[in-house]
Amino acid sequence: MLNIIRGMILAGVILLLAGFGVIYSGVYSVAADTPHNPLTYWLLETLRERSIDRASRPLDVPDLNSADWLLAGGPDYNEMCAGCHLRPGKTYSDMSLGLYPVPPNLTAGLDEHEHADDDKQSLARRQFWIIKHGIKASGMPAWGKTHDDQRIWAMVAFLQRLPELTEEQYQILTARDKAGSGHH
């Protein structure tokens, strides 16, 4: 029993030293044009997904199914997000090619399997949380520092419909009228 414990402690120490060795040696590439190895990728992805899932669970999703949400969220998306997350008719940008992790193409539908209401709610929560708080060490900024919750929910509403939009529909919905006109 004692031997097993000793062995485990030793293994832990070796692993720790090896880990620090890897870190200090500088062999691990942090270049954005070199993908992570599968282990690091898994660690980061799992860390991110678990964290977002936990943090976003308590959020209440408003009813986003209305034209006004879309009209509020469209121009914001076009100006702040399309450079990284693309828009209908655009398949890449400097950002979408250069950033790592890659900004997901938000005009592509998610997994096309069933859209159960529950899924839709948790997706909306997740998107709201990510837009508001951003994701550490990725290009995804925290927009909550400069935008209130209403504007962020409006972008979530827009994201829900974005994959179906044609280029023409997208242009109409996202055109930002000059201040003053267009607010009745």
Partner 1 sequence: MKTISTAVWVLVSGIAFSALANAHDPSEHAAKGESPDCSAMPDMHQASMNASDPVMQAMMKKCAEAMHGNAKDQKQDQKHGSAHKDDSGHHQTSGGHDDGDQHGH
Binding ligand HEC (rule: CB under 6 A), the pick from 139, 142, 161, 163 is 139
Query: Given the rule CB under 6 A, which of 8-16, 129-137, 160-168, 173-181 is the region that contacts ligand HEC?
Result: 129-137
If you write DSSP's letter for every residue of the chain in order, what string do you get? -HHHHHHHHHHHHHHHHHHHHHHHHT-S---TTSPPPHHHHHHHHHHHHHHHHHHHTTPPPP---SHHHHHHHHHHHHHHTHHHH--TT----HHHHH-SSPPP-TTS-S--S---HHHHHHHHHHHHHHHHH--TTSS---GGGTS-HHHHHHHHHHHHHGGG--HHHHHHHH--PPTTTT--
**Closer residue to partner 1 in complex, CB, 58/123:** 123
Binding ligand HEC (rule: CB under 6 A), the pick from 138, 142, 144, 163 is 138
**Closer residue to ligand HEC in complex, CB, 145/184:** 145
Q: Least distance from C-beta 182 to ligand HEC, angstroms?
A: 21
Answer yes or no whether residue 161 interacts with ligand HEC by CB under 6 A: no
**Closer residue to partner 1 in complex, CB, 29/121:** 29
Contact footprint for ligand HEC (CB under 6 A) = 48, 77, 80-81, 83-85, 95, 99, 101, 103-104, 127, 130-131, 135, 138-140, 143, 155
